[in-house]
Amino acid sequence: MSFGAAASRPRGRFPVLRAGDPCACGSGDRFGACCEPLLRGASAPTAERLMRSRYTAFVVGDERHLRETWHPGTRPAAIELDPAQRWTGLHIVATDAGGEDDTRGVVEFQAHWREGKRDGVLHERSRFVRQSGRWWYLDGRIG
């Protein structure tokens, strides 16, 4: 399983975050000041911020944000998320470039998940590119 290879799954209920809630991405900020503006269409200033917003999109089931931030050259035809799979925590392991003045970046992360009685960790190195003034997710390598 990969953030870059979203599986086709049935629809259902996802958690709802409100502006005053802690952001799901683990930044320590409130959702309204962290990932919510990005999920509503604001551009991410760095590759890491885009990565965090994409993680939050998985948490809340925001397929639109995932589609709109995935580079058109590598984006799959469809993205369908499984509400039974709960993303329970994000840890950024390392970043390589991906700053406000860069054109490429890599974000290595561990995303914890739970599905039924099973728990797991997705460890991925995601590649990002900055084009047309915005960051795009290219792909990821599970490691």
> In the chain, where are the structural domains located?
31-142
Q: 3-state secondary structure string, 14-40?
A: CCCCCCCCECCCCCCCEHHHCCHHHHC
Neighbours of 92 (CB within 10 A): 16
Instruction: Identify the weakest region by mean pLDDT among 1-15, 62-76, 126-140.
Output: 1-15
Q: What is the pLDDT of residues 96-118, one digit of tens each?
A: 999 999 999 999 999 999 999 99
In the prediction, which pLDDT does 12 show?
A: 57
Q: Locate tokens 């399983």: which residue? A: 1
The pLDDT-based confidence of 10 (bands split at 50, 70, 90) is very low
In the prediction, which pLDDT does 8 show?
A: 40
pTM, entire model: 0.90
Using CA atoms, how far apart are residues 134 and 4, in angstroms rounded to an integer?
18
Pick the CATH number of 31-142 from 3.10.450.50, 3.40.47.10, 2.60.120.10, 3.90.1150.10: 3.10.450.50
Q: What is the DSSP string of 77-113?
A: S-----TTEEEEEEEEEEEEE-STT-SEEEEEEEEEE
Q: What is the pLDDT of residues 24-43, one digit of tens each?
A: 999 999 999 999 999 999 99
